[in-house]
């Protein structure tokens, strides 16, 4: 993801440091790092924002730029989306997050996503400075989204075609999560068959061959990793330890 092309997240008159920090965290989840703050209510830098941002403090909050007005925060932006459930009296295109962020991915210049203050949302004077409106389709009986949730939704929609499609396991050994090969499965089946034979599991004798076949078939159906096979061997050794 190219940092000079990613959308800028603009928080207009945010009220609580915790919400700014949570928004920063949501941004970094999807690779967004450029935050601009318009006239934040509380002192800045804000220790509560840093605490809530967790690992996103260094990459997002420390680089956030402060502006006195939204007009000034639009520096270098050539297309802006205002996230609001209101403002429809203004004649502007209205998009879902998915459509808006597809437009942002396809846009050649700098886009911005503008979010309003927690309690009131964006005013019409703010919305008037955007090119288009983004409205999240939510339950009309409970349409309220908190600031970080709104940022998270937009970040997800922006990153969905840019970030890896399959989640990658963290802190896992690649060898342990690799699929077990057929020989490893065969040896696991042998181990269980030996121990179950000693325990008298295959009884009566007339059904023993069928039971062995079903058990062998079961092992081959399971999508076991090499780590799984080691665990099952270890479990069996512990259970049958004399």
Query: What is the DSSP secondary-structure string of 26-92?
Result: HHHHTT---EEEES-SS-SS-HHHHHHHGGGTTTTGGG-EEESSHHHHTTT-SEEEEE-S--TTS--
Ranges of CATH 3.40.1280.10 domains, the chain: 8-160
Q: How far apart are CA 154 and CA 136, in angstroms?
A: 9
Question: What's the whole-model pTM score?
Answer: 0.69
pLDDT tens, position by position, for the chain (242 residues)? 444 589 999 999 999 999 999 999 999 999 999 999 999 998 888 899 999 998 898 999 999 999 999 999 999 999 999 999 865 678 899 999 999 999 999 998 999 999 999 888 999 999 999 999 999 988 888 887 899 999 999 999 999 888 877 665 565 556 778 888 899 999 999 999 999 999 999 999 999 999 999 999 999 999 999 899 999 999 999 998 86
DSSP H or E run through 144: none
Q: How far apart are CA 162 and CA 189, in angstroms?
A: 42
Which CATH architecture group holds 175-240?
Orthogonal Bundle (1.10)
Q: How far apart are CA 48 and CA 66, in angstroms?
A: 17
Q: What burial letters (b/e) apply to 192-224, b meaning 16+ CB within 10 Å?
A: bbeebeeeeebeeeeeeeeebeeeeeebeeeeb
Ranges of CATH 1.10.8 domains, the chain: 175-240
Q: How far apart are CA 239 and CA 169, in angstroms?
A: 30
Phi, psi (degrees; rounded to nearest 5) at 131: -80, -30
Query: What is the DSSP secondary-structure string of 151-201?
Result: HHHHHHHHHTTTS-SSPPPSS--HHHHSBPPHHHHHHHHHHHHHHHHHTT-
Q: How far apart are CA 153 and CA 101, in angstroms?
A: 10
Phi, psi (degrees; rounded to nearest 5) at 238: -65, -40
What is residue 8's three-state secondary structure?
strand
Which CATH architecture group holds 8-160?
3-Layer(aba) Sandwich (3.40)
């Amino acid at each position: 993801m190219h940092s000079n092309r990613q959308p800028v997240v603009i928080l207009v008159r945010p009220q609580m440091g915790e919400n700014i920090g949570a928004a920063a965290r949501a941004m970094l989840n999807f690779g967004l790092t450029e935050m601009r703050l318009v006239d934040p209510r509380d002192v800045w830098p804000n220790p509560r924002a840093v605490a809530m941002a967790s690992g996103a403090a260094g990459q997002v909050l420390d680089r956030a730029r402060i502006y006195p007005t939204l007009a000034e925060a639009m520096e270098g932006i050539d297309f802006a989306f205002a996230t609001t459930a209101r403002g429809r009296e203004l004649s502007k295109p209205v998009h879902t997050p998915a459509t808006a962020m597809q437009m942002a991915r396809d846009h050649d210049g700098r886009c911005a996503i503008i979010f309003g203050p927690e309690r009131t949302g964006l005013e019409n004077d703010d919305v008037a400075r955007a090119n288009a409106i983004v409205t999240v389709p939510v339950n009309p009986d409970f349409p309220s989204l908190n600031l970080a949730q709104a940022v998270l939704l937009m970040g997800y929609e922006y990153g969905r075609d840019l970030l890896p499609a399959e989640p990658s396991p963290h802190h896992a050994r690649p060898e342990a999560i690799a699929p077990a090969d057929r020989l490893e499965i065969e040896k696991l089946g042998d181990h269980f068959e030996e121990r179950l034979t000693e325990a008298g599991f295959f009884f009566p004798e007339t059904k023993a061959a069928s039971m062995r076949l079903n058990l062998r078939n079961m092992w081959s159906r399971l999508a076991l990793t090499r780590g799984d096979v080691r665990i099952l061997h270890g479990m069996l050794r512990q259970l049958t330890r004399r």
